[in-house]
Structure 1
Amino acid sequence: MVAPVAVLGGGLAGASAALRLAQAGIGVDLFERQAGPHHKVCGEFLSVEAQRDLHDLGFDPLRLGAVPIERIRVVRGTKSVESRLPFTALGISREVLDQALLDAAARAGAHVHRGVKVVAMDAGGIDTGAGRFCPETVFLATGKHDLRGAKRPEPGARGDEIGFKMHWRITAEQDAELGSAIELVLLDGGYVGLQRVAARVMNVCALVRREGFGGSWNGLLTAIAREPHVARRLDGASEMLRRPTSIAALPYGYVHRPGDDRESLYRLGDQAALTAPLTGDGMAIALRSAALAVACHRSGRGPLDYTRILRREVGGQVRRAMALHRLVGLPVLPLTLGLLRLHPSLLGRLAAATRLGRLDGARRIDRPGPPGAEAAFSDR
């Protein structure tokens, strides 16, 4: 027996969708393939937009140990430029935040199934390998991993980048020096992000071209340890995870396009839109997609309308983020860094320009609209 709604995946998008559904009194089963709390490749940068959506759910990330991020520092070699962010972001471990959302969803009445991997989906329902379920509605939140029978149609070219994440226990001196800054260390063939996610815990998240570093964590670590700035940050630090989390060959820039009236499920998070990680808005898009999907479902609007609304809400951010992502790999980057050093405030403006907009769509659609209202949500 399964509830009317099934949520496949227990990350930010899936867990927050299940929580919103349960809070609305809608029966929901959530299936998460990992049996317990776990880490994911993520910059763990919680933007102001993501914070607002969490507050709408009754969440205060500071109570979970989040730390403020108020400055951005870009480093290349021995040169750096720094600026104040136009907002206060937060650094928080995904292991902590995802688990807190799942716990809240369960308390609200959602049936959370841990250690259950959905292996396929078809018109007849979902298959977990141990049983088959036939929910009325499916919210697909499997993150960067496609599900057999429900793959993202034409996601576009997959990049040759590989992403790594490792948490480091840092010294009190390094903790104070890093402080409330997020640091982007630019490399030939990628970049490394450094920020605190808790007291004396630093997240090191990298996105690099595979061929430049041998496709391995050890190869990357050897390379980045030659960077003076990274070497200083890692001095006296120790790895906190048994091994880094990693992921590769992702179609950055993908935004799901509306199909036709056969659109049968709500795609959330990375299944709906995969923004460039450089801008730190992936978590915000995951939370936003969940809010919009639940609002559409409650108002009687189906997946087709939801997909159109989501493209309008997040498409601009993804385009701007990808433009910045491509700029990092261009030969003119040293000149760009020089310009930023002359005008540091441009960093803050870039950060503001790549943000997600305010959550307007969910408020507009939280109740059924008048006849013909769907025309306002046409694809752009």
Structure 2
Amino acid sequence: MPQLTDEDVTQDTDGSPAAPEARTCGQSEAPAPAARPGTWMTPEEYGASRATLWTGAVVLVTDADGRVLVQSVDYRPDRLLPGGAVDAGEAPAAAAARAMYEELGVEGRYPRGLAVDWIPADAPGMPPGMRFPGEILHVFDGGTWTRDRIDSVRLPAQEITGIHFAEPAELPALMDAGDARRALSALRARINGGGAALLEDGRPTTPTALDRLGVLRSRRTPLHGTWHPGAVPAHLTPRDPAGWLFAPDGRVLLLVARATGAVHLPPPTAGRTAAALPLGYRYADQGAHPRTAARLTALPPGPDPAYARLLATPDQVRELSDWGPAGHEELAAVHGARAHLSLPSPPRTPPTELPAEGCHW
């Protein structure tokens, strides 16, 4: 940062202001002082050199099925996250709370940041007359809303014309491209649990595995229906068996299709396992979809390069899936199986991609 000084103050070699030198009549002007070392600017010069940017704050809210709240407005055709401009002298978190109350009639505090995005001055879609200088936009975590909280929304008489919850993969079709990138990056940052993401025009400066693989860019495969503990009854035909395969740290194996970003639980045979037990099954679409829990002891080299293999917490797997209300019952059964296998409860950290050559535990 440049050093600041007043224009009319000079410094002596010892750092103190120099006294003006006396001159006799007819004496020539004193030579100009030598230039100071380093970079010096007046406060006015330094202030004029700084970039001017707008500041905004929006809030990312999901429902119990992992869909994102977007709102329709009367001044543009695409959808927006709730929020808006930060007023002069206003903290971004305070602006987020104010906007949520003004736009949705919902009181709350949103101290947890999910992302901070730098939006360039030449971002598309900005009218020239606006003289858009660029913006720093904060994305705050609005949490998961219950049905009662959603029903408590009260829209103002103008500006906000409606809200709905959108599947994450629908956001690029509903929103401006930059807004959709930002919302998906913030949602991945929430699932990662590794702190707020730094974005440039909606793109993470340090992409995580979920970012690199484009997770949530394709519609999640819905698997609703009812959850039943135990083995599949003999009169039902098992379909698409899947395994909750635990690493020693309590995380589980997750497959991600590189072409689409779609996530899947692996088949029970995806690795060498021990202490396998039938966890339960999901009854949906006139079929029983069994789940097995087991401890992973080794993972062979990746048999299919089209899939990445990640380790994620069971809760992260649940948040990346569209399983309906029964997903909570299944998740509870998974945690019970983890405890039965004497495995730790894993802290939420960004999912990590496993090497293609496999690994042993």
Q: Normalising by structure 1, report the TM-score.
A: 0.24
| Higher strand fraction (1 or 2) | 2
Structure with greater Cα Rg: 2
Q: Which has the higher helix share?
A: 1
Q: Which has the higher contact order (CA 8 A, sep 6+)?
A: 1
TM-score by length of 2: 0.25
